[in-house]
Chains A and B, each alone.
Chain A
Amino acid sequence: MKTYQEINEKIRKKMAVVVTAEEMISIVDESGPRKAAQKIDVVTTGTFGPMCSSGAILSTGHTTPRMKIQKAWLNGVPAYSGIAAVDLYIGATEIPDDDPANEVFPGRFEYGGGHVIEDLVRGNDVVLEAKAYGTDCYPKKELETLVNLKDLNDAVLWNPRNAYQNYNVAVNVGSSRPIYTYLGVLQPRMANANYCSAGQLSPLLNDPHYRTIGIGTRIFLGGGVGYVSFAGTQHDPGGARTGGGVPTGGAGTLALTGDLKGMNADYLRGVSITGYGVSLAVGVGVPIPILDEEIARQTAVSDREIFAPVVDYSHDYWNNSGEPLASVTYEELRSGQIEIVGKKIKTAALSSHVKARQIASTLKNWIAAGTFALGEPVENLPGAESGRSMKLLAERKPCPGSVGSTREGGGTR
């Protein structure tokens, strides 16, 4: 057994033994988990792919005269301003008001919130336009100015849901035309299958029961330093798992936060997903302290032990119906071909394994150099034992008298 304090002391002295999750596989295979736990201090993970539930809080600094921004746009992309006078949230999936979207199908979605964030991180000037109704204390009503990341008072990447523990493999079973999904272009008659996970390098697949990844964990985020700030939205730890504890479907997610000013556009890229929309590809790397033999065993999980469900995106996915068509391993997916009911299907990833390796390797180097200490979680993420599960929305038609409102005297001011 080791403690965070012992490992951090070794990191401070540049004596910590750090390996990537891929390197850990052969170490445990050759030495066994017990010896590996004694020898290895930290295992680093990595993932890079489109992560839609991402965005940034920007605090621009006050204008003269002051302005309480009511509506705002960054390079023509709406930013949410219902926070405070000059605090904005630019969401990764927001598109310009005049984007034709899917009116000409499939839409190209050339620019959006994810691209604004990439432009900011690249150091490019961005046009901020804003309107306000004006108040006695904030009289300014219109604003058009260039802003630059270096001049903003605060810029914080604020991602409600990143780093899905596992994910679907998408195919098109029933549509006679290509379908355009957030998992890419799916050709008719299951001609291809797309997936999006770093598999054996992915953070939560290396800590399947969230023993070390929790609120306060210090991480690699977008090329800089960030933190796990909470369980991500749609965190769903209660689904089916293999005998080794690895989820066979979506399961856990992470809410992540970090200073945008320290990040790097190599690991924060705006993406244009044809027929679907825009998003932000995010690079995430999480260090896992090898506190005991069990954690050593879990960080040696390999692609052949991780299964993903194959789901029909021409019907079953959007209709919340049906069962997965098959369960396949990431070893099969990464081979370039899977076989379902006798049909050989070409596979491709939307996430980049090359980038995931770079992230795990960079984080390994930071820790080995003594510049990145581990953050001990102040609270664990909800596990399977929490009973937490994801529900579908039960739609209810509003009718007069059915909606409580603070406007009707029921609330406090």
Chain B
Amino acid sequence: MQRLIWNSVRCVHCGACVGQCSHGAFLVQSKTGETAFRANECQACKRCIPACSYGAVEITTEHTVDGNKSI
């Protein structure tokens, strides 16, 4: 299973990911202007990855205990 990881330390809060996200997983917080990530909304479509110039979003593949990829 693929899962998106957002690195808030690397993020500069430009919001480029928000423009690519059709699922509402990335959004700009109205009060602070900062980018927020709601992992539960993410469909791992990966459109945000090439949009981030700062390496703040990555995809991981989760593995089962025996080392095989889980589906």
Chain A nearest CB, measured from B55 CB (Å)? 7
| Contacting pair B51 A274 (CB below 8 A) | yes
Which residue in chain B gives the minimum CB-CB distance to A267?
A: B12
User: Do A194 and B50 touch across chains, with their CB atoms under 8 A apart?
Assistant: no
Main SS at interface, chain A? strand
Residues of B within 8 A of A67 (CB): none
Query: Is the C-beta of A372 less than 8 angstroms from some C-beta in chain B?
Result: no
CB-CB under 8 A for A349 and B12, given A185-B20, A192-B20, A275-B50: no
* Interface hit among A150-158, A214-222, A351-359, A405-413: A351-359
The interface of chain B, by Cβ under 8 A from chain A, is 12-20, 28, 32-34, 47, 50-51, 53-55
What separation, in Å, do the CA atoms of A349 and B14 have in the docked complex? Answer: 6
Given contacts A106-B50, A184-B51, contact A352 B19 (CB under 8 A): no
Interface string of A179-220 (1 = CB under 8 A from B): 010001101000011100000000000000000000000000
A85 on the interface (CB 8 Å rule)? no
Chain B proximity mask over A82-103: 1 for CB below 8 Å, otherwise 0: 0000000000000000000000
Determine if A173 is an interface residue (Cβ-Cβ < 8 Å): no
- Select A352's contact among B14, B20, B47, B50, beta carbons within 8 Å: B14
Measured CA separation A275–B51 after assembly (Å): 10
> Can you list, as one digit per residue, whether each of A345-368 has a CB less than 8 Å from chain B (1) or not (0)?
011111111110100000000000
A50 to B12, CA, bound (A): 11
Distance A308 CA – B32 CA, assembled complex (angstroms): 24
Tally inter-chain residue pairs, CB-CB below 8 A.
68
In whole Å, how far is B50's beta carbon from the nearest beta carbon of chain A?
A: 4
Which one, B14, B28, B33, B55, contacts A350 given CB within 8 A?
A: B14
A residues within 8 A CB of B50?
106, 180, 185, 274-275
Number of A residues near B (Cβ < 8 Å) is 31
26 contacts between A and B (CB under 8 A): A48-B12, A106-B50, A185-B51, A187-B20, A192-B19, A194-B16, A269-B54, A273-B53, A274-B50, A274-B51, A275-B50, A281-B53, A336-B18, A336-B28, A347-B19, A348-B16, A348-B17, A349-B15, A350-B14, A351-B14, A352-B12, A352-B14, A353-B13, A354-B33, A355-B13, A357-B33
CA distance A185 to B47 in the complex (A): 9
Chain B residues near A187 (CB-CB < 8 A): 20
CA distance A193 to B51 in the complex (A): 12
Main secondary structure of the interface of B (DSSP, over half): loop
The 7 closest A-B CB pairs, nearest first, are A348-B19, A274-B50, A271-B53, A354-B13, A352-B12, A352-B14, A192-B19
List chain A residues, Cβ under 8 A from B33: 353-354, 357
Q: A184-B51, A185-B50, A271-B53 are in contact. Are A354 and B34 (CB under 8 A)?
A: yes
Instruction: Determine if A252 is an interface residue (Cβ-Cβ < 8 Å).
Output: no
Contact A354 B12 (CB under 8 A): yes
CB <8 Å contact, B55 and A272: yes
Q: Given the complex of chains A and B, what is the CA–CA distance between A322 and B30 in angstroms?
A: 36
Cβ–Cβ < 8 Å partners of B12 in chain A? 48, 269, 281, 352, 354-355
- A249 at the binding interface (Cβ < 8 Å): no
Q: Complex: how many Å from CA A112 to CA B10?
A: 17
Contacts of B32 in A (CB 8 A): 354
**For the complex, what is the distance from the CA of A290 to the CA of B19, rounded to whole Å?**
37
User: In the complex, given contacts A193-B19, A194-B16, A281-B54, what are 4 additional A-B residue pairs having Cβ atoms less than 8 angstroms apart?
Assistant: A185-B50, A273-B53, A348-B14, A353-B33
Chain A residues 270 to 292 lying within 8 A of chain B, measured CB to CB, are 271-275, 279, 281
Expressed in whole angstroms, the Cα–Cα distance for A194 and B14 within the complex equals 11
Q: How far is the CB of B56 from chain A (nearest CB, A)?
A: 11
Q: List the B side residues contacting A76 at CB < 8 Å.
A: none
Nearest Cβ distance between residue B41 and chain A, in whole angstroms? Answer: 16
Alpha-carbon separation in the docked complex, A180 to B51 (Å):
9
The answer to whether A232 has its CB under 8 Å from any CB of chain B is: no
Question: Given A281-B12, A355-B13, A357-B33, are A350 and B20 also a contact pair (CB < 8 Å)?
Answer: no
